[in-house]
């Protein structure tokens, strides 16, 4: 109760609120897929120009970079491990790093890099009780030689009804939903399915993925 009251006071004074996100799904106990090679999943890269994501009920909402990076990274790792069925090694990269060296050092067959290009919050003019979010992601996959073999941006939209008077709570739930919606688009991508099948089953798997 004290936290909520303090937040409302800060909103009245500054007109700004920082939505604190959860860390997302637990990635400390991943599924070990027997006899399958591992892929490296890099910590997501936040390319946003600003931490501010929009205005809700007169307050500017901001998402800290580290909070968003942790949330997106954990959802991506769980997706690759559970939905795609691959073993995952978490890796750290920078723009100057050699993907080939990272793959060799961590003994992974590929390195997956996800960039957060944009995150925006908006209100629905037609239905004012709805708030929406737009998230732009860009996923790249590099093979163990460092060659980029896949790149695709996706635009994710999601809308939620305003169910709580607490601005932070509405933003938090909406952001988690728009992240999951964006990653689900990659799960339906034929090109990425083919690459994942090749990692899991070799050339035969890639051929089967192309057929189905």
Structural contact between residues 109 and 143, judged by C-beta atoms closer than 8 angstroms: yes
pLDDT averages per 10-residue partition of the chain, 212 residues: 41 61 89 91 96 82 94 96 94 83 94 97 69 94 95 94 62 90 95 92 49 33
* Token duo for residue 1: 């109760």
CB atoms within 10 A of CB 73: 21
Alpha carbon 93 to chain centroid distance?
16
Structural contact between residues 39 and 89, judged by C-beta atoms closer than 8 angstroms: yes
CATH class of 2-211: alpha beta
Structural contact between residues 115 and 44, judged by C-beta atoms closer than 8 angstroms: yes
* Token duo for residue 206: 């890639």
**So where are the chain's domains?**
2-211
Question: What is the per-residue pLDDT for 202?
Answer: 75
pTM for the whole structure? 0.83
Q: Which residues contact 206 (CB under 8 A, 6 or more apart)?
A: 194, 195, 197, 198
């Amino acid at each position: 109760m004290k936290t909520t009251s303090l937040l409302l006071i800060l909103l009245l004074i500054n007109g700004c609120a920082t939505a604190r996100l959860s860390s997302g799904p637990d990635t400390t106990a991943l599924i070990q897929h027997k006899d399958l090679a591992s892929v490296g999943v890099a910590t997501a890269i936040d390319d946003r120009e600003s931490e501010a994501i929009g205005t809700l009920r007169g307050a500017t909402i901001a998402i800290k970079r580290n909070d968003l990076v942790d949330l997106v990274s954990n959802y991506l790792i769980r997706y690759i491990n559970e939905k795609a069925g691959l073993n995952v090694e978490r890796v750290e990269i920078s723009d100057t790093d050699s993907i080939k060296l990272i793959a060799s050092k961590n003994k992974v067959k590929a390195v997956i890099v996800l960039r957060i290009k944009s995150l925006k919050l908006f209100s629905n003019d037609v239905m004012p009780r709805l708030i929406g979010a737009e998230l732009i992601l860009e996923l790249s996959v590099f093979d163990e030689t460092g060659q980029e073999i896949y790149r695709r941006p996706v635009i994710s939209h999601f809308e939620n009804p305003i169910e709580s008077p607490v601005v932070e709570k509405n933003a938090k739930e909406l952001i988690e939903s728009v992240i999951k919606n964006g990653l689900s688009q990659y799960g339906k991508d034929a090109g990425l399915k083919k690459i994942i099948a090749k990692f899991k089953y070799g050339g035969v798997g890639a051929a089967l993925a192309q057929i189905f």
